[in-house]
């Protein structure tokens, strides 16, 4: 075969020269615009906004993230089992991310978190078997 034929070959992964992208031309001209935000950045911005919350007799200004955490912990303290499980799951996740064991101060707290972690792992394993 001649070199001209191989250079002009059309087939799999070799489109005709007329249909190839020109230098500087994008293959997706109407793609994601520059500066488009993803879900994580939108959520981070939304949670950082400040709101006014009533704390006892006074009103305080806190971020939405802080207000969410306060309400979740308050619900867990009042006896809401789902809220308590959520708080403990967040603690377990945060402790798994921490490199040192200094994150939990008391032995009693460490035992509670470890027991919860074991229980959730067993429940997940039982759910996977079903």
Query: Both 85 and 129 in a single domain?
Result: yes
Query: Both 99 and 116 in a single domain?
Result: yes
Asked if residue 16 belongs to a domain, the reply is no
Q: What is the pLDDT of residues 26-80, one digit of tens each?
A: 778 888 777 788 899 999 999 999 999 988 899 999 999 999 999 999 999 999 9
Segments forming the whole domain that contains residue 50 = 39-78
Q: Give the orientation angle of helix 81-97 with respect to helix 107-129, to 10 degrees.
A: 100
Can you give the pTM of this predicted structure? 0.52
The proportion of the chain whose per-residue pLDDT surpasses 90, expressed as a percent, equals 32
At 19, list the tokens: 């249909």
The proportion of the chain whose per-residue pLDDT surpasses 70, expressed as a percent, equals 88
pLDDT for the residue numbered 109: 76
What is d(CA 84, CA 76) in angstroms, rounded to the nearest whole number? 4
């Amino acid at each position: 075969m001649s070199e001209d034929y191989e250079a002009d070959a059309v087939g799999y992964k070799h489109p005709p020269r007329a249909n190839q992208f020109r230098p500087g031309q994008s293959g997706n001209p109407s793609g994601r615009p520059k500066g488009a935000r993803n879900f994580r950045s939108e959520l981070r911005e939304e949670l950082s906004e400040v709101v006014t919350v009533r704390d006892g007799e006074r009103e305080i200004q806190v971020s939405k993230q802080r207000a969410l955490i306060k309400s979740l912990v308050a619900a867990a303290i009042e006896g809401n089992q789902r809220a308590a499980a959520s708080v403990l799951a967040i603690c377990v996740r945060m402790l798994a991310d921490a490199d040192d064991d200094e994150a939990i101060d008391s032995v009693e707290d460490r035992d509670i978190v470890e027991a919860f972690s074991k229980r959730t792992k067993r429940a997940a394993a039982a759910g996977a078997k079903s």
